Structure formats: structure tokens, C-alpha cells
Amino acid sequence: MIEKLKSICGENYVLSGDAADGFSHDFTRQYAWSPLAVVRPENTAQVAEVVKLANETQTPIVPVSGNTGLAGGTKGEGAIMLSLDRMNRIREIRAEARIAIVEAGVILSQLREAVEAQGLIFPLTFGAQGSAMIGGNLSTNAGGSNVLRYGNTRDLVLGIEAVLPTGEVMDIMSELHKDNSGYNLKHLLIGAEGTLGIITAAVVKLAPKPRAYATAMVAAPSLADALTLLNRLQIETGGAVEAFEYMPRSYIDSHLAVIEGAREPFDAPHNVNILVEIAATAPQDATPGADGTTPLQAHFEELLAEFYETGAVLDATLAQNEAQRREMWARREAAAEITLTHPWRQTHDVCVPVDKVGTFIARADETSSKVDPGSRASIVSHLGDGNIHYSVWFTRNDAELADRMMEALEDIVIDLGGSFSAEHGIGVSKRPSMARRKNKAALATMQAIKHALDPNGIMNPGKVLP
């Protein structure tokens, strides 16, 4: 098998044994495995040949991009791991059409930098953007901090190219904003985590680069007050709020303890800390006045002052320059690093209606304390879209305890009309949740689609579906 793979991709681009060690664990190191081999194809034609070989021999094949996932989606014991890192070309940027045509191995931050030079942005952003790749972003339907304004990955894609489990290449690289010609197959593969095929390229949507940002840390009396602030800001700015990120006091304490050089966001501690960012593209909102302040920032300050007078805001610190803005974002983007400091942990990536975030956290805190007295919670939330990252730090390493905690917290999520997976995907870790929580008719439909497209079950087996 390894010799055949070398004949397809070249001697230097098939790794096995010790050479494949870098592909034998995930980002969290919670999952470890021994792949049969790692192949690094150069183009879609080579991907197709590798997949044909895997299908003919019924060998499992696992696609891997930046390997920054948090749900075990790249676990590949005895599998051919197909790395897309060499397929890293930005084929075209068409500024007038506001699109970019990219290969799956393009690193997210590199795409953002490339389009920024043309006054545009690809508005997908999160902490791992320096290593996460476009193929993985699409495969997991990645979210991040700007979903509030621009939507999830699905909302940013016009077309895709993908290799199906048979090795056939499905070219639906549409550049159209409207195309009603049958089933929307791109949405079927986006978010499927490589279980239905391997995405090799995409046409993605770009947006105008903001001319100015107004960024602040805001302390609110409660999450209800914070939500009122968000809604008011959306009205006053015409929907220009890009991020609205919640960090409770416990997270700030952990940040100060773990991150060297970290500072308090305010002079006095507060329980509800919100990172707010607003952006403007119109020159009349972004052109600095004589004092160097943009109309966007001045309006933001006025609104915060108004809320401060009514007691709906307790404190606020506005970024006066790019360095201060980056410091605020670094505080939020340290979440994964902070969470991984505890050896016995369980991360719940859940979503509830935005007005029920506070209810979920209160009930989850009470429940987790009952299931494992002495446990702690590490929480951050994309508050603007209802996505909560609720991580439990256990008092001991106990699989049965972890299962009970998972079920107990999922009970709350479902009771509030939420989802047990918001943006991290299913992978391995959420498969039991799929079995317990997903609508049975929906599961049966997914199984039927999987069997129809991948009857030999070679594509990222053991993921997503129970």
C-alpha cells in the first residue's frame, strides 16, 4: 500500500513510521493513534487517485488540514491520513466580484493577509487562524468571533471542489450568489467533517475591509444588561457590531494566573466582562477628526456614557490604538490555552437562544457542582450568537463521572432549545451525544446519505455518526 501511495504522490510525500509522528495526535493531545501512512498530495488529481486506491482496498482515509480541531475529528488509527498542506495556492482574488478561489491547504491567516492588501477581508477569525486551513474550516463549518456580523463558514462559501469516496471529482466551484439548480451539495459536504468526501478547493466570499474599529472592554451588571447593550448598539450602528464576547470573572482570574504579563481589564474587578468591537467601512464614519477620534469611536463613547448614566454599564475601557485593541483580543483568544492547562477537563461547545445564555450558565454551574463537588468551570461565550464554551475541570480522572457530567449538562441544553455542538463539530467526542440527542429521523437520513455516497465506509470512519 505504501509503495502504491508513493507512486501517486512521490517518494518524499508519503510518511510512515517515526516520520508520521507529527500526525499521530490531535491539537489537544486527548486523542492519539498510529496511522498507516501520511500522504501529502500536490493537487486534486493526486487526491482522487489516493481515494480510489483507498476505496478499492477498503482502507480508511482521514483528511487533515491544520489539525487544530477540538473533537478528535482527525483520529486515524491504521488509516491513510491525507494532508492537504501542499495544496496551498490562492488561485485567484477577484476584488470587483468580492471572491477568492483557494485550495484547501491555504492557512486562514494567509488568506486574510492576501485579501487585505486589496482592501478586503475574509471575515472568518478565531484563535487558531495562524495554523487552521481552509479545508478544515469548511469541513467543520467553523464559527469564531465574527459570526455575529458575517455568519458561519457556510455563509461565506459560494462553491467547492471535492473528491467523493469513489475518487470522482465533484466540481461545483460556483461563483454565483443565486443558483437554484437542484440539491445544495456544497452545504452537504461543508460541516460533514470529511465523512462524505474531501474538499480540495473553494470559492469564498470577501467583504470590504473596515476603515476603522471601535473596540472596548465593557463591564455590565448582568448578562441581560449586556444583551440590551448589544441590541441597542446594533440599532445605532446599522448592524456594525462585529464581536460581542463574554468573559466572566473566573475566566479573567485564570487569564491572570496563566498568561504571563496579563493585566486586569478594569481598575476594579467585575463579574460580567464583555469584549465589544464595532467596525465601519464608510469614510464619514471612519475619518478621524481634529482630535484623532473617528466618528465611529465618538458615537460608541457616547452610547457607553449613556448606558453608564443609567447603570446598565458599570465600567468601560476603549482601545485608543491598535496595540490596546490587540491586547483586548489576546485576552479572549487565550481561551484554549487556559482550558488546556487542566489535565482532567471536558469542553462543552453548546449553543442556546441568546436570551437564555445566562440561564444555561446558572443551571450548568449548579448541576456541575452536584455531579462533581469541587469541580470548576472555565467559561467564555460568543454572547452575540448564543455560543458558550463551558469547560469543566474535574476533581479526578474518571470516565464514568465524565459521562454523567456530559449527560447532565446536555439535559439543560436541550431543555433550553439549544444544540450540544455549536462550532467545534462532532468528531469522536460528541458521537454519544448524537446517539442520545439527535432527532432519530434526522439520524436515519444522515446514515442513508453516508451509505449512498460511501458504501465501503472509508471516509473518516468512526466520526460524526453514532
pLDDT, position 30: 84
Instruction: Tell the CATH topology of 342-427.
Output: Alpha-Beta Plaits (3.30.70)
The domains spanning 212-334 and 342-427 adopt the same CATH topology:
yes
Helix 223-237, helix 295-310: angle, nearest 10: 140
CATH among 3.40.1190.20, 3.40.50.300, 3.30.70.2190, 3.90.25.10 for 212-334: 3.30.70.2190
CATH class of 2-83: alpha beta
pLDDT of residue 41: 98
| CA–CA dist 315, 49 (Å, integer) | 59
**Strand ranges inside 256-323, DSSP E:** 272-280, 315-318
Measured CA to CA, the distance from residue 29 to residue 31 in angstroms comes to 5
The pLDDT, as a whole number, for residue 128 is: 86
Closest by Cα among 159, 269, 139 to 217: 269
* pLDDT value at residue 170: 98
Cβ atoms of residues 413 and 362 within 8 Å: no
- Each domain of the chain, given as residue ranges in start order, spans 2-83, 90-208, 212-334, 342-427
Question: Closest Cα to residue 387, out of 350, 336, 355?
Answer: 350
| CATH top-level class of 90-208 | alpha beta
- What is the residue-level pLDDT of the chain in tens, covering all 466 positions? 999 999 999 999 999 989 998 899 987 788 899 999 999 999 999 999 999 999 999 999 999 998 888 888 999 999 999 999 999 999 999 999 999 999 999 999 999 999 999 999 999 998 888 999 999 999 999 999 999 999 999 999 999 999 999 999 999 999 999 999 999 999 999 999 999 999 999 999 999 999 999 999 999 999 999 999 999 999 999 999 999 999 999 999 999 999 999 999 999 999 999 999 999 999 999 999 998 899 999 999 999 999 999 999 999 999 999 999 999 999 999 998 998 888 899 999 999 999 999 999 999 999 999 999 999 999 999 999 999 999 999 999 999 999 999 999 999 999 999 999 999 999 999 999 999 999 999 999 999 999 999 999 999 999 999 9
Cell of 409: 449538562
pTM value is 0.93
